[in-house]
Homo-oligomer: A and B are copies of this chain.
Amino acid sequence: MKVGVIGSGDVGRRLGHGFASQGHEVKLGTRDPKKKEVQAWLKETPGKVSAGSFSEAAAHGEVVLLCTLGSAVESAIGLAGEKNFAGKVLIDVTNPLDLSKGMPPGLFVGTTDSLGERVQRRLPQAKVVKCFNIVANSTMIDPRLKEGLPTMIIAGNDAGAKKKVAEILAGFGWETPVDIGNIDGARWLEALTALWVRVAMSVGSWTPGFRVLRQ
């Protein structure tokens, strides 16, 4: 499968590496293909990988991952080109973290909206699935922690896209995700990240996770 990654920060590189390790053809989208983290990623990532602009990465992907800073989402989509998302699964990993007042962060999108919804509205033809945003990038692939396996929780409007994401998650070592419904569920997944940061600060670990105990 061809995978396009929008954003070459820690999250994008980590997920890109994970998809490449599963045999997928990954193009890492970046504002600066020459920067050293991207060049290092190209060397250390197995399989058929490449780097390019946001637009090239979005065009490349059958599945596209949105991995920018929350504050960069709008500009990144503009650079990537709306048409390059049409009809595709778009995995939105972003969080609207507001760090203007230091740590821990607030959210710049509130409880009546979310970045997931904004992305879906901006790209009505894309099949947006909120996923991966609730864990540290270091536990997105091979998520098992010493204390157990966290639960991925996803949201999105398209059942087929969520099925695809569940298959991807299974390949990465996750259990079947908890599907909380349409993309408006993203507002609570984004809020969970704000809680996650506080929990991380409290327990003194930057890889905590939440496990859903179903009953």
Q: How large is the interface on A (under 10, 10 to 19, 20 to 34, 35 or more residues)?
A: 35 or more
Q: List 16 A-B contacts (CB under 8 A).
A: A107-B111, A110-B110, A111-B111, A111-B194, A145-B214, A150-B213, A178-B203, A185-B198, A188-B191, A191-B192, A191-B194, A199-B212, A203-B214, A208-B214, A210-B210, A210-B211
Whether the Cβ atoms of B212 and A145 lie closer than 8 Å is no
Whether the Cβ atoms of A203 and B212 lie closer than 8 Å is yes
Q: Assess whether A180 is interfacial by the CB under 8 Å rule.
A: yes
Number of copies of chain A assembled together? 2
Cα distance A198–B114 when bound, in Å? 16
Interface residues of A (CB under 8 A from B): 104, 106-107, 110-112, 145-150, 153, 178-181, 185, 187-189, 191-192, 194-195, 198-199, 201-203, 205, 207-215
Residues of B within 8 A of A145 (CB): 213-215
Whether the Cβ atoms of B208 and A210 lie closer than 8 Å is no
Q: Which of A110, A153, A187, A191 has the most CB of B within 10 A?
A: A191
Whether the Cβ atoms of A199 and B215 lie closer than 8 Å is no
Residues of B within 8 A of A112 (CB): 106, 110
